[in-house]
Structure 1
Amino acid sequence: MTVQMTAGDVVLLTTDASVQFLRPICVRIIRELPERITYDGWVWIEGYELNAAGDARARRELYVRREGVRLVRSHPPATPMRPTTGRPERRTPSRVG
């Protein structure tokens, strides 16, 4: 199954994606780099390599086989902003200096 990657998706890269991933890594996608010429079925991606806690560890540009990319978590849709209700909050003047 071919994965369409969008910004915010978390993917698992193993040797199915490229031989360079003998040790699998998780990556949060920033974007695909369509301007780069590749072989059929391969793609350049830009993303953040994640540590075990899910925190960004390093920004990377990776060349991967699209069919080998495994989607771990899809980026959730943006939540609409909540409309404000009532009057604006009153602030008292503060003294500076």
Structure 2
Amino acid sequence: MNAPLPEAGDLVYVTRAASVQFVKPIWCRVIRVLDWITYDGWCWLDVYQLDAKGDAVARRSIFVQPAKLESRQPVGRPEQRRPQGVRRRPDAGGSRPVPAGRQPGKLVRGRG
């Protein structure tokens, strides 16, 4: 039976057990599972490789055994929070284009 595949956004620890190319283990954030033909029990993943602070330093496609991936939070790493919304800086005044025929700051009323 094959292990479940990781999903986009999963944090995985890739070691030599998952693939012999990873003599030095790395942390990765999964972007997607690639739909490529592989050997049974193996898959291709698009990932962001993470540094010690959890920042993405490289985008990679890796060939691994999903059953051997470790999915856990790194020790000492705070839980990640999702942004609640984007705050916009107030307009610095005069940076918006003014439509032709209008003067900045002047109210134009309709006639009727």
TM-score, length basis structure 2: 0.63
1:62 matched to 2:62? The reply is: yes
CA distance in 2, matches of 1:62, 1:95: 49
CA distance in 1, matches of 2:41, 2:71: 16
Which structure has more strand as a fraction of its residues? 1
Could you tell me the percent identity over the aligned residues?
40
Query: RMSD in angstroms over aligned alpha carbons?
Result: 2.8
CA distance in 1, matches of 2:92, 2:25: 54
Contact 1:3 1:71 in 2 (8 A): no
Runs of 4+ in structure 1 deviating by more than 6 angstroms, as ranges, are: none
Higher relative contact order (CA 8 A, sep 6+): 1
CA distance in 2, matches of 1:9, 1:45: 11
1:74-93, aligned counterparts within 5 Å? none
How many correspondences in the alignment?
83
TM-score, length basis structure 1: 0.72
